[in-house]
Copies of this chain bind each other. A is one copy, B any other.
Amino acid sequence: MSLPGNAREGESRRVATVRDVAQRAGVSQATAARALGGYGSVSERARRRVLDAASALSYQPNDVARALASGAKRTIGLIVADVENPFFAAAARGLSDVVETHGYTLLLANSDENIERERAAIEAIRTRVDGFVLSPSSDASGAALAAQHSQVVLLDRGIRGLSVDTVTVENAAGARRAVEHLLGLGHRRIGAVADSPDIHSTEQRLRGYRAALRTAGIPDEPELVSIGDSTQQGGYEAATRLLGRRPLPEALFATSNFMTAGAVRAIRELGLRLARDIALVGFDDTDWATLIEPPITVVRQPVAEMGRKAGELIMERLRGSSAPARRVRLRTELVIRRSAGEP
């Protein structure tokens, strides 16, 4: 095989177009286009000739032209807070897998958990996509903007009052379950290491946390929930603050993978021992949860499945469904390991 370098300016020999194929096949452009595009009807004989001509010219349909003419861009925009977050990476993967099977591709953008950037990203790719999958930041304006001209499905976070397909997990129930587990192990003063409650899923998780405490008859102690940025560093800071209080909380509930990591770091740095000195349960499972000692008890969510489901929903919409908005809530699972202490 020859290994040419990059296509240089000069040598850009024109690529074959439908017109070229038609000419070589001896049919009209329309017929060639029909055979190539797989629409309309073409006699078997004509189809053969066209297909032969096409392969002889190594014809490749121009997707941009196709999109302009037909209006179908076969592209869906994915806007997440941060692809570097394994949660979003895994969801992106699931989504990617399903849309690809339908011949769609993914346009990716990061919003950095920032509504301005989210809106900017939407504006920037709006005309190139048929639909959006997004995990909306704090307010609804981005999602509303996206929904204005495209189909949209919300991932991981809902938006009250916006009637749009949504894929989430049972955040409140999962969090509640986690805290009940802590409670069952005898812990009473349970702190929460959380990112912004403006994030819908975080808000729900905090709600579950509070519900569990309330049900157990434990008085509300607002200073036991510590808020940080949605990064490991943010989790570290929030946890450090919490662990500075006296008396020390007996247990911590972390609302996301990054918050969990930050909490572990803070606990380590303060010379505390996980489980023995302080119990921990995190929301969202991670690769490293079982690599550390003791392994971390977590609320596992079906992340890839969330992405896949979002893909199915958006594909249905693009196929023309105008069914009422669907809210898919996937179940979570408490995976008991040893960071919360043993019974």
Which of chain B's residues have a CB closer than 8 A to the CB of A192? none
Task: State how many angstroms separate the Cβ of A92 from the closest Cβ of chain B.
Answer: 6
Q: Does A327 contact B (CB under 8 A)?
A: no
The residue on B at minimum CB distance from A143 is B3
Do A161 and B3 have beta carbons less than 8 Å apart? yes
Which of chain B's residues have a CB closer than 8 A to the CB of A261? 287-288, 291
Which of chain B's residues have a CB closer than 8 A to the CB of A268? 291, 293
Q: Does A4 contact B (CB under 8 A)?
A: yes
Do A63 and B162 have beta carbons less than 8 Å apart? no
Complex Cα distance, B79 from A325, in Å, reads: 33
Do B5 and A163 have beta carbons less than 8 Å apart? yes
Do A163 and B3 have beta carbons less than 8 Å apart? yes
Contact of A287 among B75, B288, B325 (CB under 8 A): B288
Do B149 and A1 have beta carbons less than 8 Å apart? no
Complex Cα distance, B5 from A152, in Å, reads: 9
Do A60 and B127 have beta carbons less than 8 Å apart? yes
Which of chain B's residues have a CB closer than 8 A to the CB of A256? none
Do A144 and B64 have beta carbons less than 8 Å apart? no
Q: Interface stretch among A6-14, A23-31, A330-338?
A: A6-14
Which of chain B's residues have a CB closer than 8 A to the CB of A164? 5-6
From known contacts A65-B68, A261-B287, infer whether A325 and B6 are also in contact, taking CB-CB under 8 Å. yes
Do A265 and B291 have beta carbons less than 8 Å apart? yes
Contact of A293 among B1, B4, B232, B292 (CB under 8 A): B292
Q: Interface stretch among A48-56, A100-108, A198-206?
A: A100-108
Which of chain B's residues have a CB closer than 8 A to the CB of A290? 265
Give the 7 A-B residue pairs with the shortest CB-CB distance, closest first. Answer: A288-B288, A5-B163, A108-B108, A3-B162, A63-B127, A292-B292, A89-B89
A-B contact pairs, 9 of them (CB 8 A): A3-B163, A4-B147, A7-B149, A7-B150, A86-B89, A92-B108, A105-B125, A107-B107, A287-B288
